[in-house]
Structure 1
């Protein structure tokens, strides 16, 4: 297995917050520390570059299966952070023929694509293999099987057929309305579990999800399970593309970007060893711009995302916009990025020498200056942007209660 493959095939959770031991834990969760150190030590900078590219651009296809009705459409749009009036949103009623597929790429994260799969036919006899082939079931990284009462037996047959392949990640989702009572929802969940059990499905969860407010009910648990079930690079792509629904998601996104920053800083340190003037600085600012731009969009700090969130939660947009105190939260500019990199160069004395020694191979410590500067500049920026996102989410959730 190549170094790059070892970076991308690890199974793992959606990123958990680091403990007191700091960045080493974040990197350990990504399986980057040892592989990147090995790559740099062996002068395999192309492997490090590929790893950074794959963390920045990683495709994920998420399918939502079920009847085409308002709750399912709302779920698809909420997963992209969109309202029904936003450009790129799934329309309701759907103009797509009942038996056809519909695709909805995320406007801000084109590597995240949502698929609207038609409901499983209720006719008998029913051959699940035909349905799986018609909707191209196995090309999706995960499938959400939605229903509003109990899953139809034919849907369960599709699940069992897909599960038998041992290469498909499928979840049952009970969609709630804003008017459903807690008692009524639990009764529906219980009936759903009994239906699944009678059809031969054991030890399976039914996730209760309210499409209009995903932070409620079981959606956070669903995300945690998806992070564990998906290959790590796909879990990372899903995490970065989802809207900032909860403070926990903001923290997880921050930690994911810090791991990406470490990889980019390692690349910077390696490039600095090449005796070509200005090469490192050009690479640093270019990669830093890409990382911070993606972080701004992932944390939903750009003007369009903040205005959309304010509209959805009935808040004056200027109130949420005013919570952004970091310049990079408002706009990622080359001038601001270069200024931060230059400032970090002057403040290298504040960087722990232990961190540099841990991160860089012995023969490369002479080029650790570039590594440390980029690490300090970008980590500081990510911390500030995440703090802004936490404030925005807190106010939005508070107003939405």
Structure 2
């Protein structure tokens, strides 16, 4: 916790010195400090532990969280028996600094809960997700209590809810989905309270339909309880399950635009022919790729939508890539040869305007793609 607070303080200090350098018109210092700031926020790591007893759907949850299917290359292996015998790291396919760890099931190792945490090297994880496909067990409760002792956050996930609802629908004369969900949730909470877990939160999740049930609430809770620098990073890697997720990503991206514009302004102030256009093109290209990856508009994400909707890939991306091409063209436009302060101001304004308008357009595209994908689920 101390290291997190220290890192967060460092980011605040960097932002303070950027402001002071700009107030003194010290563009050299502002640019160097800005580069450090952008480097720091782009290199944040996030390690998420997913644990529980064997056969509860941990690996499927890991895959869904990373936005991939069980059959995709790089997916965590799944099966009806325990397939994870040691902690296995699964980096996010588009954000390698984010890793989900598929841990051995509680009760499948030879260690009780306290030794289990030492075995999996608990200190490297930012938080734990404890998964169960039925009543949360005594092992789950003991593990939660041990995690609490070491000062880490944990979240109970009751998986395979879609299967439970299907069973209830077949067996109940008067099926009520909301009532069934509430009964399952209360049953899990009561079981944990009997095992000594105070005020537990239980999130009902279907890994095959993350937009349904409690995954949005789980997402909100994780965001709220993480330090701000890691919260923003988590938001950018979460799968798009609703318009709210896309809006949050847009706001994180928007908060960073001014720093890229500051870098552009610094380069524009250097009187070397052709340097500004090259730098602006590089900045736009880098940030555009971040937008595409974060908003689920990269090639692989669009391929998934294409397969799910049975539409051609060219149709799916038709509304996306015109936006990208226009932005790239604007960002590459040669700035006129003017006096240094004016050139810097124009470059800042140009990059800020291009990135802001492009982000707005791409977020709308992302919402359209999301709605199209959800229509077939």
**Partner deviation per Cα, 1:145-185 (whole Å, 9 max, x = no partner):** 0112222223222222221222x121111113323233443
Correspondence list, 1:29-108, <5 A: 36-41=18-23, 43-69=29-55, 71-93=57-79, 98-108=84-94
Cα 1:261–1:130 shift into 2, 3 Å = same
Q: Distance in 2 between matches of 1:254 and 1:37?
A: 23
Q: Distance in 2 between matches of 1:286 and 1:49?
A: 14
Q: Distance in 2 between matches of 1:169 and 1:381?
A: 36
Q: TM-score, normalised by structure 2?
A: 0.82
Q: Distance in 1 between matches of 2:184 and 2:246?
A: 32
Matched, 1:155 2:126: no
User: Counterpart of 1:146?
Assistant: 131
Matched, 1:222 2:206: no
User: Counterpart of 1:298?
Assistant: 294
SS at match of 1:379: helix
Matched, 1:339 2:324: no
Matched, 1:380 2:357: yes
CA shift at 1:390, angstroms? 0.9
SS at match of 1:90: coil
Greater relative contact order (Cα 8 A, min sep 6): structure 1 or 2?
Answer: 1
Q: Distance in 1 between matches of 2:40 and 2:80?
A: 34
User: Counterpart of 1:256?
Assistant: 252
Correspondence list, 1:270-309, <5 A: 270-309=266-305
Correspondence list, 1:125-140, <5 A: 127-140=112-125
User: Counterpart of 1:187?
Assistant: 183
Q: Distance in 2 between matches of 1:273 and 1:135?
A: 51
Q: Is the 8 A contact 1:143 1:170 kept in 2?
A: yes
CA shift at 1:262, angstroms? 1.8
CA shift at 1:278, angstroms? 3.8
Q: Is the 8 A contact 1:296 1:328 kept in 2?
A: no
Q: Distance in 1 between matches of 2:203 and 2:270?
A: 53
Q: Is the 8 A contact 1:268 1:280 kept in 2?
A: yes
User: Counterpart of 1:119?
Assistant: 105
SS at match of 1:384: helix
Q: Is the 8 A contact 1:101 1:116 kept in 2?
A: yes
Q: TM-score, normalised by structure 1?
A: 0.78
Which ranges in structure 2 are unaligned for 5 or more consecutive residues? 166-176
Residue of structure 1 aligned with 2:154, choices 162, 170, 182: 170
Q: Is the 8 A contact 1:265 1:375 kept in 2?
A: yes
SS at match of 1:202: coil
SS at match of 2:157: strand
User: Counterpart of 1:318?
Assistant: 312
CA shift at 1:66, angstroms? 1.5
Q: Distance in 2 between matches of 1:323 and 1:159?
A: 44
Q: Is the 8 A contact 2:18 2:34 kept in 1?
A: yes
Q: Is the 8 A contact 2:51 2:104 kept in 1?
A: yes
| Length, aligned pairs only | 354
